[in-house]
Amino acid sequence: MTTKKQDNPPPAFRVFVSSTYTDMLPYREAIRTAINKADCIPYGMERFGATSVPPIETCYEELASSQIYICAIGMRYGSIDETSQKSYTQLEYEKAKELGLPILAFLVDEDKVEFKAKDIDRGEGGVKLDQFKREIKDSKEVTCSFFDSPMSLQESVYRSILGEIKRQGARPKSLDSKDTDYLEGAKLFSRFVKRPERYKNSECILRVRVDGLYGGWRLRDEVFAAFGFVAGDALFLNDVYVTGMSKIDVAENIWHVDCFAAGEAADWLDDNFVTTGTLFEGKFKLVYELVEKGGGSRGTVGAVDTKIANIVLLKGIKVIEHDSPTRLSKNNKNVMGLDDLLTSGLGRLLIAQNGEE
């Protein structure tokens, strides 16, 4: 008997769901039901695992992999991001617009729905909520509807998703490859930090966030020499976080790595004011070299030779945002310097691999 080879089914649309949480639980469940009924995959905060990465960064990564964005706005503005002083829901909305995702917005009919007093924002939060709702309603780029119950929301979401799928076609449109190359780069970096000797000297696109400070004259010359740079004529960025993997497959600190830049790449960092809290994209080289005396700062006592993994910026591509919440600043901790590298995260892993611990 011959069997006819069947084509693989088209990939399901990923739908990112954005709203406040506790006050909107029955409505979020209604949205999830509608998404599943439309044979799509819902993504939202319920799916995020425990991580020390700032929540908004995880949201941005999930948004970049989605094809439809849904926001449901009730009577709360929501939790505020300390840096931007905007709610996470509004930041997600703005990011969806930046990515060019189709936005399906659903606003509560305030004349028909009653919320508990604790689920209504007043004062400054209420003012910001009204401004946010007005922005949504006035936008020519957003499909906006109103709901007065979980069931009415479910039906409206279902119809809207089917309409959007019909508009886009049977298969979800992937984002332009140049906008998602950093996701493949993150996968390569994940392999590199686990087996740096195997993947060293590879080049890839990475999207990184600067969590630390620039290194200065106190760094040993050996740090620069080991990676082929001239001390005093190259930039050294402490504690750079590689984004793009929603699930971290190694110890969290290992995803923080140091970065070199020289020549035009260093000029690009200066010209674009890249500093602590800057999220940017660039072409990088993954390097793994033996550093004399561990690459600590001048005057370090008891340092030993060891192999260290770093990344080198070859070319800056674009700045995503300045003043992005950083892991260390968000927790009000001091920024980790190079002296601390060998006792935490990537340094400890690589020392162990080199037989020095």
DSSP state for residue 111 in the 8-state scheme: T
CATH number of the structural domain spanning residue 80? 3.40.50.10140
Residues of the chain below pLDDT 70: 1-11, 45-54, 170-180, 217, 245-253, 294-303, 324-325, 327-357
Kindly give, in sequence order, each residue whose CB lies less than 8 Å from that of residue 320, ignoring residues fewer than 6 positions away.
207, 279, 280, 281
Q: Residue 286's pLDDT is what? A: 96
Together in a domain, 154 and 201: no
Residue 344: CB atoms within 10 Å = 14
pLDDT tens digit sequence for 143-167: 899 999 999 999 999 999 999 988 8
Could you tell me if 226 and 342 lie in one domain? yes
Residue 6 lies in a domain: no
Same domain, 148 and 221: no
Strand duo 234-242 + 203-210: pairing = antiparallel
- Cα angle 114, 119, 124; round to 5: 115
Boundary-marking domain end, from 115, 133, 168: 168
Containing structural domain, residue 222? 178-353
Contact status, residue 261 vs residue 313, Cβ threshold 8 Å: yes
Q: In angstroms, how far is CA 58 from the centroid of its own chain?
A: 5
In a domain, 173, yes or no: no
What pLDDT shows up at residue 248?
A: 56
Same domain, 157 and 303: no
Q: Do 261 and 124 share a structural domain?
A: no
Rg value, the chain, Cα: 24
Contact 72, 19 (CB under 8 A): yes
b/e per residue 21-45 (b: at least 16 CB within 10 A)? eebbeebbebbbbbbeebebbbbbb
Q: What's the burial of 2, exposed, middle or buried (CB within 10 Å: 0-12/13-18/19+)?
A: exposed
Contact of 104 with 69, CB cutoff 8 Å: yes
Name the residue among 172, 228, 131, 183 with its Cα closest to residue 39.
172
Kindly state whether residues 329 and 251 are assigned to the same domain: yes
- C-alpha 244/C-alpha 187 separation (Å) is 8
Clarify whether residues 51 and 199 are in a common domain.
no
Query: Does 5 fall in a domain?
Result: no
Query: Is the same domain home to 164 and 195?
Result: no
Q: In terms of domains, do 206 and 287 share one?
A: yes
Integer CA distances (angstroms), 294 to 241, 288, 338, in order: 21, 13, 10
Count CB atoms within 10 A of the CB of residue 356: 13
For residue 234, the number of C-alpha atoms closer than 13 Å in the C-beta half-sphere is 23
C-alpha to C-alpha distances, 48 to 1, 57, 84, 252, 353, nearest whole angstrom: 46, 11, 22, 15, 31
pLDDT in the model for residue 259:
94
Whether residues 119 and 208 fall in one domain = no
Whether 56 and 182 map to the same domain: the answer is no
103-108 and 142-147: which strand pairing?
Answer: parallel
